[in-house]
Amino acid sequence: MKRLAKWRLLPLFAVMALLAGCGEPFLSALKPAGEVAQMQYDLMLLSTAIMVGVIVVVTIIFIIVVTRFRRKNDNEIPKQVEGSHKLEMIWTIIPILLLLILAVPTVAATFKLADVSPMEKKGEDGKTEAVVVKVRANLYWWEFEYPNEEILTSQDLVVPTDEKVYFELKASDVKHSFWIPAVGGKMDTNTENVNKFWLEFDGKASDEAGSLFYGKCAELCGPSHALMDFKVKALPRDEFDQWVAAAKAVKEPKQAETAQAQAGQEVFNNSCIGCHAVTPANSTPEQARMGPNLTDFGNRSRVAGVLEHNEENIKKWLKDPEAIKPGNKMTGKYNLSDEEIDAVTEYLMGLKVQ
């Protein structure tokens, strides 16, 4: 009996061996880095194991059939069998049982993942105990608003590790979908309603991934859908608190220090500030936040979500955004000379909350 049990586990081991070690720790759903991803990964393993079992049975019958029953002479007429009630019962009932084994944890997990009740438990000041992030998806960038902390940031989502983070998702133009593969499944950002779900970022896994998870848009949204990436900085709680405090401290736009940066700030104030804020307060209405908030731009991990973060790439992006993200909404909104771009670049690199 014990040996039999081991045999039954064989497909499970085979599957684990196959799936483990696939992909990058900062991106792969097969390297779960949080409670949600782990739950989904376990469901994957369970379903894959059942399915591999089914495939093994089919394959064995299949191989027997195609090897044993080849036509040997042209005159043979096999017995015409109508069917077999017993066999047909077997392959009706066993699949039903297998599906039940999968259906029960599926339903349980589905409800668990949809439980956002801590978001509703608001204190007298209208704030929640739990960390809440309002995600607003735009062509082709992401805005992350922290209603409790009354700040917002863009492109790089900052979250605390080892606790549940609750998300409110919506899109401001067309439908997108918010997905951090390593941390958990996606949810769509619809245009007409707010979707809610939660994720948990595992501290240890975050360290392995270099504290930077990759996030993606998973719903076709236009030419640059493929480039609508964001990044997630998952920090221990105290570092997260420090970041929040530092961000909240920025009440006025940070003043540029060098001469060139000051020139850049002037250009910025003339050409860019209409869409891009450099203070983190969430007091302006959504419609006025037409471009990513740049308060913490100097600490960004990527330029435009896809290019390595350095001055050269910022200049490249400012010079011809269309070449980097086709269909983006910034192209053609400003007209800067090369010197001005250099100045703005220096200014932007200095924008750091800490």
Read off the tokens for 2.
């014990």
Is residue 329 within the footprint of another protein (CB under 8 A)? Answer: no
Determine if 5 is a binding residue for another protein (CB under 8 A).
no
Determine the angle formed by the axes of helices 2-19 and 35-68, rounding to 10 degrees: 110
Of residues 9, 96, 249, 259, which one binds another protein by CB under 8 A?
96
- Classify strands 131-138 and 164-171 as parallel, antiparallel or unpaired: parallel
7 makes contact with another protein (CB under 8 A): no
Taking CB under 8 A as the criterion, the residue among 81, 251, 252, 320 binding another protein is 81
Residues 6 or more apart in contact with residue 74 via CB below 8 angstroms: none
d(CA 131, CA 165): 5
> What's 141's DSSP letter?
E
Residues 157-196 that bind another protein (CB under 8 A): 169, 171, 173-175, 177, 179, 181-182, 184-188, 190-193, 195
- Does position 221 interact with another protein (CB under 8 A)? The reply is yes
Interior CA angle at 228 toward 332 and 341, to 5°? 40
Residue 78 sits in the site that holds another protein (CB under 8 A): yes
Gap between the Cα atoms of 295 and 273, Å rounded: 12
Task: Choose the binding region for another protein from 224-232, 249-257, 268-276, 291-299 (rule: CB under 8 A).
Answer: 224-232
What does the per-residue mask of binding to another protein show for 8-47, with x meaning CB under 8 A?
Answer: -----------x--xxx--xxxx------x-xx--xx--x
Residue of 95, 310, 338, 339 that binds another protein (CB under 8 A)? 95
Query: From CA 317, how far away is CA 315, in angstroms rounded?
Result: 5
CB atoms inside a 10 Å sphere around CB 258: 12
Bridge partners of residue 158, in order along the sequence: 233
Residue ranges in 49-68 that form contacts with another protein under rule CB under 8 A: 50-51, 54-55, 58-59, 61-62, 64-66
User: Which of these segments, 118-126, 223-231, 242-250, 274-282, binds another protein (CB under 8 A)?
Assistant: 223-231
Q: Are 133 and 146 in contact (CB under 8 A)?
A: yes
Out of 2, 3, 6, 79, the residue judged to bind another protein by CB under 8 A = 79
Which position among 20, 114, 245, 259 is part of the footprint of another protein (CB under 8 A)?
A: 114
